[in-house]
Amino acid sequence: MKPELAANGALSRRHLLSLGLAGCAALALAACGQSAPAAPSPAASAPASVAAKPSGSPSTQASAKPAGSQAAQPASAQASSSASRSLDVVKQGNLRGLTLGAAIARERGYFAEQGVQSDETMFDSGSQQTPLIATGQLDIGTSSPTSAHFNALSRGVKQKFAVDNAHLEKGVVSEAIILRPDLVGKDIKTIADLKGRTLLAQTDNKQGGLGFAVSKVLASAGLKIEDVDWKIVPFPDMTNALANKQADGAAQLEPFITAAVSRGIAQAWQNLADFYPGEQAGALVFSEGFIRDRRDVARRWMVAHLRGVRDMNDFLKSGKDAQVVGPILTKATGSSADLVTKIQWLPIDGNGSLNSASIEADQKQLADWGSIKETFPIDQLVDTQFVDYAVQQLGKV
């Protein structure tokens, strides 16, 4: 039996009320390739046009320099040589609160230093971006190893995972099975006790998302997904469903874990990362045309993006540049300033590395479940050339 997790640090009700859960919901849903239950944003309701207003010119913090390593100098030199020419526009699909590294890179002027204008358009799900990726109306989109992603490949949509955008990491409770506190240690003591219990899921577990890790949790006690009575409920609605005792628990993720625990409605019981550490929960995809026709632009975009990711990681780990990075993350996630550091966000690798073994394993699992009919070799799923280039310029962390 896995030990129960300690409850997340308590948050005041005032903090929770200030949390923009709608924005955080987009982050959570995107990592799992789900559609948000909220009404589509203006950008998403008219996906044929992605000529969205740029997300803002570089802030006054744009003069901030990257970490002063010699490895970072080639990228800076290349950026300064591009400053005199017009910026290359990159069209990126996103969901509110996702791709925080790019948000930091945009605000701190890292893209501009690389001669790139990274324009962002908001959508309600990764699947809304797929047809625009296919037609080249988007250069970059958000996705994850789900049946929807692989079935799109089967229809001829060429999109490759290019950089990590979310993964599971032991010790970080960003995805978990949560239970009602009145059941923990009483009616439900072990994972085997989940048999026949009613749990909530955002979508059919056999379509991907949290289902990969959930299946491993159950398998540790000799159970299958079918041994649990699953009810489909959107992530934001799970807390109220548990409060009303409409279910015994849920497969949940942040920021909703923190919200439910702080209200005393649930307890984080099993950390999914303990059962599937390193799972590739989300990634950014590059379109075929972006990779083929604009390779140099894609390289420069990645250099700037990874600088932003590293800034975010430094901020979350040590509070570095808090006066600059904190407000950017607050704006991008819709969270209150103090809550940004308390939610256990899905980790993003500072080198952008993708877990190819996880992607292949999840693809095979979907095929075994009958959720997809065609599988692809890893070289048709992943393209690491751009993160490799960026790490050459910036150095490895």
DSSP, collapsed to helix, strand or coil, labels residue 242 as helix
Phi, psi of 338 (to 5 degrees): -75, -25
DSSP per residue, 145-157? SSHHHHHHHHTT-
**Would you say residue 80 has pLDDT above 70?**
no
pLDDT band at 279, cuts 50/70/90? very high
**Would you say residue 2 has pLDDT above 90?**
no
Q: What is the pLDDT of residue 333?
A: 77
**Would you say residue 29 has pLDDT above 80?**
no
285-323 residue pLDDT tens: 999 999 999 999 999 999 999 999 999 999 989 999 999
Q: What is the pLDDT of residue 55?
A: 45
Lowest mean pLDDT, pick from 230-234, 326-330, 342-346, 366-370: 342-346
Sign of torsion over alpha carbons 338, 339, 340, 345: positive
86-129 residue pLDDT tens: 999 999 998 766 678 999 999 999 999 999 999 999 887 778 89
pLDDT band at 342, cuts 50/70/90? confident
Q: What is the pLDDT of residue 9?
A: 39
Q: Residue 245 contacts by C-beta under 8 Å, 6 or more apart in sequence?
A: 180
Q: What is the pLDDT of residue 228?
A: 98
Section 242-256 average pLDDT: 94
Residue that the structure tokens 């960026």 belong to: 390
Please give the residue that has the higher pLDDT: either 231 or 52. Answer: 231
For residues 364 and 373, the answer to whether their CB atoms sit within 8 Å is: no
Structural domains for the chain: 13-23+170-274 (3.40.190.10), 26-167+280-335+349-394 (3.40.190.10)
CA 255 to mean position of chain CA atoms: 12
DSSP per residue, 88-136? EEEEEEE-TT--HHHHHHHHTTHHHHTTEEEEEEE-S-STTTHHHHHHT
Give the percent of the chain with pLDDT over 90.
Answer: 65
Q: What is the pLDDT of residue 368?
A: 98
pLDDT band at 32, cuts 50/70/90? low
**Would you say residue 54 has pLDDT above 50?**
no
121-146 residue pLDDT tens: 988 777 889 899 999 999 999 999 99
Q: In the chain, what are the helix, strand and coil shares in percent, each to the nearest 5?
A: 45, 15, 40
DSSP per residue, 44-65? HHSTT---PPPS----GGGGPP
**Would you say residue 266 has pLDDT above 80?**
yes
Phi, psi of 269 (to 5 degrees): -105, -50
Kindly report the average pLDDT of the chain as a whole number: 83
Distance between CA atoms of 344 and 31, rounded to whole angstroms?
A: 14
**Would you say residue 273 has pLDDT above 70?**
yes
Strands (E) located in the chain:
88-94, 116-122, 140-143, 159-167, 175-179, 198-201, 229-232, 249-253, 267-271, 280-287
How big is the chain, counted in residues?
397
**Would you say residue 34 has pLDDT above 60?**
no
Q: What is the pLDDT of residue 372?
A: 97
Residue that the structure tokens 């797929």 belong to: 130
Give the percent of the chain with pLDDT over 70.
Answer: 78
